[in-house]
Amino acid sequence: MSKISRFIIWICSKFTRNEIEQIINGLVDVLQDRNPEVKPKDDFKEKHPNYRNFSVDPLAPLSEPPQPKELFPSKDYKLLLAEYQLKHGKPLSPVRYRSSSPRVPEHTSCACCGAPHCYLYYNDGKKRTQLLCKVCNHLFQLNRRYQKGMKTKYYCPYCHHALFTWKQRKDVTIYKCCNDHCHHRIRKMRKLNDAEKALMKKRSSQFKLCYQYREYHYAPEVLIHSSPEKPHVDITKIHNSPDILGLILTFYVSFASSARKTALIMRSVFNINVSYQTVLNYAAAAFYCNSFNLKYKGSIDNISAGDEAYIKVMGKHHYVFFFISSESLKITAYHAADNRETLPAIIAVKEAIRTAHPGQTIILVTDGNPSYPAGIHFLNADRELDSSVQHRKVIGLQNLDSESEAYRPFKQLIERLNRTFKHHVKPSHGFNSLNGAVALVTLFVTHYNFLRSHMSLNYRTPIELPDLTQITTIQGKWAKILSLAA
């Protein structure tokens, strides 16, 4: 039973019919603002919190002011002089300068009608920057100037006005367009309904109407892809043979068994006595597999899809940023972090495009997480980047726009990868450390790229290595990968 239903029952048990009618009339007066002393509770904080959702404008800012267009005369001064003579019965006389008046340079002509310098005169006194034409009364500047042009860093891509520094923090500087007549702002204003327009007058901070650009200040040493820690024990000096190590990784990673179940299989089926802690220790071989994955990743396709998958570390949500190529179906990035902010997205995107060809145009398809377009803006602004990255967004389960309809298959591709990843992570029931989670993610990527055959690839693996094609068993391939990586 809802709170309102219980309140109605309480009123009916406490008041008579006439008293309830008086209460209703009093409530109607409050709702119609006829009782200035009583106001209903403001539900603004419930419907509209004090913060708005983070969003990124699709276009990057301009780093240089646009070149002014050459103005061609829209009128002919000869026709205007003929009309003046026909109307007044005498020709229009040129400008008569005083002895102290400055002279207009001979090469100057009117920007509107093309009248020569003899019909022009300075209209701003000693400044000598503004000219007035006597023939067409057009006012123009002799030389165009841009105020504080050397101090401006970015310009609005819509109205070409200079962006000012709106907010400045440790890791990001936010620039904003202050032009009220910007096409971008006018377009956003037209999309507001009457209720939103009334709300904007009271709570303008709830709406993002002006163009904004976020410039991030991340150092290169911060943009490092996640990697497992180096194990304390050398994996090449363990008591068991490489074949047994490969067999343990086969059940633990390739067949998605838990560490305890893997140890049980080794004892019950193969009569090899290993503990579940030994299985977890052998999973530390992911340190070597991480460099192996990044080394043999190879080139990427023109279209890649990205998304985040959830994992639990110490009972708290963590995220793995995956990127997969559309044609080869190989995982190109797998970064684990404790948040979904811009920094982990930048790291994942940077690794996903690391092996791109110079000049290659890359399209990244993601969901509505604004961290991806913000990260793409950051990478495109890097002058050392040889490739240009474009972003395409697919939101929701239905195609509400043409972009979602065109790139929906790539979004479904990354969703299928997430389901496969969750199938391999589910037996672990969470992790006690972030290093354990990164280790299993790394081993999963090794299995997915080099060992798992795909039906859409004619039962081939996404990345084929000559050293692995001659080996028929999975445990043998695991042993060969570790020997190549160590």
pLDDT tens digits, one per residue of 201-246: 888 888 899 999 999 999 989 999 999 998 877 777 788 888 999 9
Three-point CA angle 393, 411, 214, nearest 5°: 30
In this model, does residue 134 exceed pLDDT 70?
A: yes
For the record, the structure tokens of 367 come out as 């969901």
> Could you say which DSSP state residue 462 is in?
S
Q: What is the pTM of this model?
A: 0.75
Three-point CA angle 186, 191, 196, nearest 5°: 105
Q: Are strands 130-133 and 120-122 parallel, antiparallel or unpaired?
A: antiparallel
* pLDDT tens sequence across 229-239: 988 777 777 88
Q: What pairs with residue 312 in β-bridges? A: 317
For position 144, what pLDDT does the model report?
Answer: 62
From CA 250, how far away is CA 354, in angstroms rounded?
A: 30
Kindly report the average pLDDT of the chain as a whole number.
88
CATH 3.30.420.10 domain residues, the chain: 286-485
- Sheet holding 130-133: strands in order across? 120-122, 130-133, 139-141
Homologous superfamily assigned to 286-485: Ribonuclease H-like superfamily/Ribonuclease H (3.30.420.10)
Least Cα distance to 137 among 120, 125, 154, 152 occurs for 120
**Residues 120, 101: contact at Cβ < 8 Å?**
no
What are the backbone angles phi and psi of residue 75, rounded to the nearest 5°? -130, 160
For position 466, what pLDDT does the model report?
Answer: 92
Percent of the chain with pLDDT over 90: 59
Q: How many residues does the chain have?
A: 486
What's the Rg (C-alpha) of the chain?
35
- Residue with token string 């490092």: 224
Least Cα distance to 287 among 229, 246, 374 occurs for 229
Count the Cβ atoms, other than its own, within 10 Å of residue 96.
8
For position 150, what pLDDT does the model report?
Answer: 53
From CA 427, how far away is CA 440, in angstroms rounded?
A: 11
In this model, does residue 47 exceed pLDDT 70?
A: no
- Residue 396: left (phi > 0), alpha (psi -120 to 50), or beta? left
For position 50, what pLDDT does the model report?
Answer: 56
pLDDT band of residue 5 (cuts 50, 70, 90) is confident
What are the backbone angles phi and psi of residue 162, rounded to the nearest 5°? -70, 140
Q: Where are the alpha helices (DSSP H) in 148-302?
A: 183-190, 194-202, 242-249, 259-268, 276-282, 286-295
Q: Are strands 361-366 and 303-313 parallel, antiparallel or unpaired?
A: parallel
Query: Which letter, b or e, does each residue of 428-464 get, where b requires 16 or more Cβ atoms within 10 Å of its Cβ?
Result: beebeebbbbbbbbbbbbbbbbbbeeeeeeeeebbbe
Least Cα distance to 140 among 67, 70, 66, 65 occurs for 70
Three-point CA angle 398, 403, 407, nearest 5°: 80
Task: Tell me if residue 120 falls in helix, strand or coil.
Answer: strand
Taking residues 275-304, report their average pLDDT. Answer: 92
Residue 463 contacts by C-beta under 8 Å, 6 or more apart in sequence? 296, 297, 298, 328, 330, 449, 450
**Residues 189, 310: contact at Cβ < 8 Å?**
no
- Residue 173: left (phi > 0), alpha (psi -120 to 50), or beta? beta
From CA 226, how far away is CA 336, in angstroms rounded?
A: 6
For position 51, what pLDDT does the model report?
Answer: 61
Question: Which H or E element spans position 413?
Answer: helix 402-425
Percent of the chain with pLDDT over 70: 94
In this model, does residue 363 exceed pLDDT 90?
A: yes
Q: How far is CA 395 from the centre of its chain?
A: 13
From CA 299, how far away is CA 354, in angstroms rounded?
A: 9
Write the burial class of residue 376 (CB in 10 Å: 0-12 exposed, 13-18 middle, 19+ buried). Answer: buried
Taking residues 370-385, report their average pLDDT. Answer: 84
